[in-house]
Structure 1
Amino acid sequence: MIRSRSVALALLSLAALAAPAHAHHMMDGELPGTFSQGLLSGLGHPVIGLDHLAFIVAAGLVAGAYGLSLALPVAFVGASMVGVLAHVAGVSLPGAELLVAASVLLIGVLLARGAALGTPVWAGLFAVAGLFHGYAYGESIFGAEATPLVAYLAGLFVIQSAIAVGVALAARGLAIAPLNARLAGAAVAGIGIAVLAGQILPG
């Protein structure tokens, strides 16, 4: 219980910083032009974007606390790759940033309530959320050449998979029960609310 509270407090401490998270970019907003720049941008983007990071951590907690397959959070990662490619290809997904924030709020609420959802429902949620998170990721690589784009995708896949699977394995190792994961879910929901507020309310 103490460990789960520590996780929740850590997430809550990020909530205060979450409002401007929609503006996160690596490379100071510059378009990656080399393989190394693309890779670093891909590795860093989900980490400095607290909305994305909160969802990835929550996805790992879902798999770990509920004893579900590790393929579930990886499905989110795969869908995010599709979202990036959709953005790069010029497909329009209006309101993607709002939907990213909404997905963070939703998964946080579901965790906080201890919702007993089946694997297909979680898989569907992760797949849809992954598309919108990926579309948002694609903004920082839109217009780049093939080499930095491939590197960017590789970085995104590695960092997101490592975080999600790492959190899932840690949750299992620490025996974090679904009941204890509710505190972390409430913190994630708080981040989702903060991000939504930052986008909807006038600056």
Structure 2
Amino acid sequence: MFHTELSNRVSGEFPGSRLLYRHVYAIASLLVISLLSSFTLTQHLAICNWFDGFLGGLAHPVLGLHHMVSVVAIGLISGVVVRGTFIPAGFVFATLLGTINHLLYLDLPGAETAIAFFTIVFAVMLAIPSQPNLMVVVLLTATAGLFHGYTYGQAILETPISSQIAYMLGLTLTQFVVAMSAREIGNIISVGKLQNIRNAGFAFWAIGIVFLSYSII
């Protein structure tokens, strides 16, 4: 599945190892926060003004483990696929469309189940060493983004337009930063230890199964 290059070892480390560790620690910290908050906190915070909206938008992708895992998986995929920058870009743009879709009261049924399903699909892409078509991956991630955005939109229904705009700005910023950090990890690992990406795929697959089971109960 992945585009790889020969790695040049320097002092026993593959190129970019320090940067890799920083990105890994940042992503791991966010995943821990997401895991804890998914079971202990409500994801729909009260939003009364544009500042609340912006903070809510920043936090929402991190507070929901199923959202967080999907964004990380998409970032990893984009880092090991040729011209992969289109993948997170399509996802983030579609997320905004999905949020607007909810604000317009256009129903998108089964969103939580769809999010869990796509998490499993992305996990399989990471775990299986096959080369998918770039446009197929972009289409899949964009479709997933619509469902993610639709669930995000619930938090800002009946709020002022300024809050809604600020919320979507926060969403875009957080998802972009997380996806691009994961993309850097994917870029670095793809010239080092590709097996680590496959291991992450198996872990994300397990998380997706849990959320899929939860969504259909």
**Which one of the candidate residues 148, 166, 176 is aligned to 1:133?**
148
- Kindly, what percent of the aligned residue pairs are identical? 33
**Which one of the candidate residues 107, 110, 126 is aligned to 1:95?**
110
Who wins on radius of gyration, i.e. which is larger?
Answer: 2
CA distance in 1, matches of 2:193, 2:163: 41
Q: Could you say which residue in structure 1 is the equivalent of 2:134? A: 119
Aligned pairs, how many? Answer: 191
CA distance in 1, matches of 2:84, 2:124: 21
CA distance in 2, matches of 1:67, 1:176: 16
Q: Could you say which residue in structure 2 is the equivalent of 1:192? A: 208
Q: What TM-score do the two structures reach when normalised by structure 2?
A: 0.79
The correspondence of residues 113-192 of structure 1 with structure 2, limited to 5 A, is 113-174=128-189, 175-176=191-192, 178-192=194-208
Post-superposition CA distance 1:124-163 (Å, at most 9, x none): 0011000011101111111211000000000000000011
RMSD, aligned CA: 2.7
Q: Could you say which residue in structure 1 is the equivalent of 2:89? A: 74
CA distance in 2, matches of 1:108, 1:115: 13
**1:44 maps to 2:59:** yes
Structure whose residues are more often helix by fraction: 1
Aligned amino acid, residue 187 of structure 1: A
Q: Could you say which residue in structure 2 is the equivalent of 1:86? A: 101
Residue ranges of structure 1 left out of the alignment (5+ in a row): none
CA distance in 2, matches of 1:141, 1:74: 23
Is this contact kept in 1: 2:77–2:125, CA < 8 A? Answer: no
Tell me the secondary structure at the aligned position of residue 131 of structure 2. coil
Q: What TM-score do the two structures reach when normalised by structure 1?
A: 0.84
Q: Which runs of 4+ in 1 moved over 2 A?
A: 65-69, 173-180
CA distance in 1, matches of 2:86, 2:116: 23
Residue ranges of structure 2 left out of the alignment (5+ in a row): 1-13, 15-19
**Which one of the candidate residues 36, 40, 43 is aligned to 1:25?**
43
Higher relative contact order (CA 8 A, sep 6+): 1
Deviates more, 1:101-110 or 1:82-91: 101-110
